[in-house]
Amino acid sequence: MSEKRDYYEVLEVSREASSDEIRRAYRQCALKHHPDRNPGDKEAEERFKEATEAFSVLSDDEKRQGYDRFGFAGVSGAGFDFSSAGIGDILSHFQDMFSDFFGDFSGSGHPRGPERGQDVRVDASISLKDTMTGCKHEIVVQGAAACDDCGGSGAKAGTQPETCPQCRGSGQVTTQRGFIMFSTTCPHCRGTGQFVKDPCGSCRGSGYVEKRRKVLVTFPAGIDSGQRLRVPGQGMPGPTGTRPGDLYVDVSVEHDDQFEREGYDLIAHEPVSFPEAALGGELHLTLPDDTEVSATVKAGTQPGTIITLSGKGIPRLDRRSRGGLHIVVDVQVPKKLSRRAKKLLHELEAELGAPHSARSAAG
Q: Does domain 115-156+201-255 have CATH number 3.40.50.720?
A: no
Q: What architecture is the 259-332 domain classified under in CATH? A: Sandwich (2.60)
Length of the chain (residues): 363
Q: Other CB atoms closer than 10 Å to residue 234's CB: what's the count?
A: 20
What digits encode the pLDDT tens for the residues 126-139? Answer: 999 999 999 999 99
CATH of domain 7-102: 1.10.287.110
276-323, pLDDT tens digit by residue?
A: 999 999 999 999 999 999 999 999 999 999 999 999 999 999 888 999
Q: Count of H helices and E strands in the chain?
A: 10, 15
- Write the single-letter amino acid at 340: R
- Please tell me the distance from the alpha carbon of residue 235 to that of residue 120, in angstroms, as a whole number: 5
Residue 31 — pLDDT band, cuts 50, 70, 90? confident
Residue of 362 and 144 predicted with greater confidence: 144
Lowest mean pLDDT among 179-193, 286-300, 348-362: 348-362
Identical fold between 115-156+201-255 and 259-332: yes
Q: How many CB atoms lie within 10 A of CB 35?
A: 20
User: So where are the chain's domains?
Assistant: 7-102, 115-156+201-255, 162-195, 259-332
Beta strands in the chain (DSSP E): 120-126, 135-146, 162-163, 172-177, 180-185, 194-195, 208-219, 228-231, 247-253, 259-262, 265-273, 281-286, 292-297, 306-309, 325-332
pLDDT digits (tens, 9 = 90+) for 77-95: 555 556 555 665 565 545 5
93-149 confidence digits (pLDDT tens):
455 555 555 544 444 444 444 467 788 899 999 999 999 999 999 999 887 777 888
Rounded to two decimals, the pTM is 0.55
